[in-house]
Structure 1
Amino acid sequence: MDLTRIWARLNPLTSPFAILDIIIVAILFYWLLGVIRGTRAVQLLRGVGILLVLAIVLGAVAGDQLTTLGWLLTTIITPALIVGVPILFQPELRRALESLGRSSELLSRPMAGLNRSEVITTINTIARTTQQLSQQGVGALIVIERMSQLQEYADRGVILDSRVSMPLLMNIFYPNSPLHDMAVIVRGNRILAANVVLPLSEDVAGPRRYGTRHRAAKGISEQSDAIAVVVSEETGAISLMQDGRMVSYLTEARLRVMLADLLRISLEEAAAK
């Protein structure tokens, strides 16, 4: 084959639209991997990918001879994948669609109804309270609402609609109090609800020492953009869960820094309060 024919085959791939097409597809794949990273969808996607690669290879090598396999692929497996993938990846698809629906302006101001001083006060109150709970060995789960509405979960608990304060949070999570077992949802600078039952993560790959609170924190962070702060009743360790990923053994100062970053507040402002 001469150079003219080779160039004729490659030429369509060098057009500006072909290059733009490749870039857009690459960005979409990168975004999708970011959405599902750290979730059980990675293992499911790996299995689906292996199945598809095997089907393509077998079809290319011996497609004419393997008639039964070809029939299975075309009449059963392919339709099953088309129907099953949206069901299997429902939580990840929901997160992806929610992230598309959030404008950059709203994302940069998750507590748009509050002034910066109120947001900083809320951050510091949560950080101080979790540190105090940790020192006393009291378990807690505080969920901070961002763009994803958590009203459907709040309605399952006890609606409080009270300003965030350290005494109130301490009383809620005090052992044997009526509201201490479940989660608290914070909206802006107010405690929306307490004793809230959250969805548990189906990811069983986490350390065994993590109990129901950590699974609930991971579950709500997988299904929304909320921030979950957990205090372990057994170890007193403070953890932050966001987007299905957990950072553990936080100090009060480190927790304040992470919350300020996630809520788009400068560290200097948070430290000054």
Structure 2
Amino acid sequence: MKKNMSKTAWVTGGSSGIGLELTKRLLKDQYQVCIFAHTGIQQAVKELIKISSTITGFEVDVQNENTMDEKFAEAVAQFGTPDLLINSAGISIAKNFDDMTSQEFERQIQINLVGSRNVAHAALPHLKQAVQQGKRPKLVFIASAAGLVGCYGYTGYCASKFGVVGLAEVLRMELRSQKIDVAVVCPPEVDTPLVTEERKNGSPVTAALKQLGGSMPVEKACKEIYQGIFSNDFVVIPGAQARILAKISRLLPDTYRKQIDKKLDKIIQRLAS
């Protein structure tokens, strides 16, 4: 496939959920897009090619940086250096701490946090090359509202996503002088296959508490995320309800926690009756 002057985007976790929906929007905006995912690549490309032929896919494991190095090099050979990299790869295991095995906890840290590090580190030489070519590339991490405020039943997930927000914050500072922009997206619950699977076995306490941040259809959430990615905002929070919750937790942390405790006590009492 010949290279052209179109802008290029890379999307990890691009075969489903938020990553897939953002890829559709990028293709409609005339981007060349490379998606990277652990599974579902062939089916996703088959669906996306109906929108644009400037799509290609690579099977990767974000836990393995060597894999990322190899596939990113192939992506550059095909479409050139990226103008935009969205890291949307991630998993969630919604279990209370005492029910979660160490392997389940570590798997979320490895994929969500260490995986984010691996993606950024493997991509960095190509982002720097893009700068040398006159581009102003942007690195976007898809974290979660659970990376800003804690949520019952999410010890592993919250720990990993708080870490992603911290990683993004530091990279924003370190890469600024290198003319590489960084942003982090912190959505509330979004109706994706990840959430659908979670609802089958998740705690009813978690489900009730999560509604404080609201729940969004994937199309609506991604419309706001997409707009936020192309803004100058560092933290992008789709959904007015989630933005209010995050602001209160930041400005009035003690008041916020007291209200959460009251809500949590009512939920547990109702479920116990």
TM-score bracket, normalised by the shorter chain, equals under 0.3
TM-score normalized with structure 1 length: 0.22
Which structure carries more relative contact order (alpha carbon 8 Å, separation 6+)? 1
Is the radius of gyration larger for structure 1 or structure 2?
A: 1
